[in-house]
Amino acid sequence: MANGASPASTSTCGSTARCRGSEKNGRGRILPQRQPNNLTGESREAVRAFGLVTLALCLAALVIDGLDYQLLALTAPLILAEWGVARADFGTAMAAALFGMALGAAAGGWLGDKVGRVRALALAVVLFGCATLAVSRTHDVAALAALRVLGGVGFGAAGPNALALGSEWLPVRFRTYVVALLAVGTPAGGMIGAAALPAMLPSLGWRGVFVALGALAVVLGIVLLAVLREPPHPAAGPAAQRGRLLSSQFARLNAGVGLSFAALTAIVYGLGAWMPSFLTAAGFTLDQALTASLTFNACSILGAFAAGWLARAQGSRRVMWASALATAALLAGFGATLDAAPGARLAIDALAAAVGFAASVGITTLYAMATLLYPADVRASGIGLGMTSGRVGGIAMSFAGGYLLDFAGGSASVLFGALALTALLATSAAWLVRGHLPASGLAVS
C-alpha cells in the first residue's frame, strides 16, 4: 500500500485518524490507548519552577487574607475598651469585611474568568492594603465598618483568583494537594496573628499593627503584578462540559457546595470572631483566649492538609458526611464544657483544636470540589460563588454571635447550640451533589 500499512491494520482501524492514540496487544490486535483523565490528571506533566513560585505567591495572598480577618477579632477587646462600645454594636464592624468579601468573591471570580487571574488578584490585594492602612486612622464603628467593607471587596476578589491561578500552574494530578495547601492560607494568617500580636501590641498598638499589615499587602500586590502571568489553559472540553455558571447544568453543584460553604464558614468565622470575647467573659485572660484561638487556627491548618489526602483516599462524599457530623458533635461538647467547667482550660483548648480540624477538612474538600468539578471557563466564578456563600454565612454569624452571647447573659450555650445545628447543614454537599471526587481520585463517580 502507498502508506505502507498492512491490510490487517487498515481493516481494523479503518483510518489513520482512528488508529492515532492506539496500541497493539500481545496478539497484534489494536486496542484504544488509555487517555489521561481530565479531572485529576494521570498525565506525567512535570512540575515547573514557575508553578511553584506562583503557588507561593498565591499562598502569601491568602495568608494575609486570614490575618486581616483575624486581626480585628484579636484586637477587638482593645478597641472595645478604647471606644467604649458594646459587643453587639461592634458586630457591625465584624461583619463589614465579610459583606465586602461576599461581593468581592462573586465579582472577582467573574473578573478573573474574563480579564485574567493575575490582574484581578493584584488589584484585589492592593485595594485591601490601602483600606487596611486607612483603618488605622478610624475612631468610630461607622468609619471602621465602611473601610472594612472596602478591604473585604479586595480580599474577597483575591480568594477565587488565587485558588484558580495557583492550581492551574501545577499538574492536574497534584491539584487536590495544591488546593489543600492554598486552603491553609486563611487559618495560617489567623495563627500568625494570634502568635505575633502579644509581642507586637505593646510597641505598635492596634493602630500600628494595621499600618504594618496594610503596607505589606500593597507591596505584595505590586510583586504579584510584576512576577506572575496567566496560566496556559487547556483546550476547552466538550460542549456538554461548558456552560454558564448559573445554568441548570451546575444547579446541584452550586447548591450543595454553596450551602455547605455557608454553614462551615459561619462556624469558623463565628468562632474566630467571638472566641476571645466569650472566653474572656468566662474568666480566661486575654493571653489565654489568644492561645485558644491559636490552637483553633493551628489545627485548622492540619485539617486542611489532611483534606488533600482524605478527598483522594475516601472520596469527597464520605469526607463531607464525616466532617459535618463530627463538627456538630464537637460544637455541642464545646458549649457544654464551657458552661459546666469554664476553668477547664486544657479541655477547652482541645475542643477548639478538634472543631478547627473537623471544620477545615470540610471547607478544604469543598474548595477541591469547586476547583476540580467546574470547567476552566467558569472555574474562578464557581469558586467565587462558593466563597460568596461562605461569606454570607460568616456575615450572619458575626452579627448573630454578639446578640446570642448577650441574650444568654454571657453564656456561650445558645451560641454553640446554634453553631451545632448549622454544622448539620454542611451535609448538603454530600447528598445534593451528584458528581463527587471518588475515593480513587481518578474519575468522577
The predicted pLDDT at position 440 comes to: 61
Please state, in angstroms and as integers, the Cα–Cα distance from residue 307 to each residue in 148, 181, 263, 311, following that order: 31, 10, 18, 6
Task: Give CATH superfamily name and number for 51-234+245-431.
Answer: MFS general substrate transporter like domains (1.20.1250.20)
pLDDT in tens, 345-399: 888 899 999 999 999 999 999 999 998 888 888 889 999 999 999 888 887 887 7
Please check whether residue 134 is in contact with residue 147, taking contact to mean a CB–CB distance below 8 angstroms: yes
Alpha-carbon distance 386 to 15, whole Å? 46
The predicted pLDDT at position 328 comes to: 95
pLDDT in tens, 167-222: 889 887 788 889 989 988 877 887 788 788 888 888 888 899 999 988 999 999 99
Please check whether residue 3 is in contact with residue 15, taking contact to mean a CB–CB distance below 8 angstroms: no
- Provide the angle, in degrees to the nearest 10, between the axes of the packed helices 141-168 and 379-407: 140
What is the domain partition of the chain in residue ranges?
51-234+245-431
The predicted pLDDT at position 358 comes to: 96
Min mean pLDDT across 8-12, 249-253, 273-277 is at 8-12
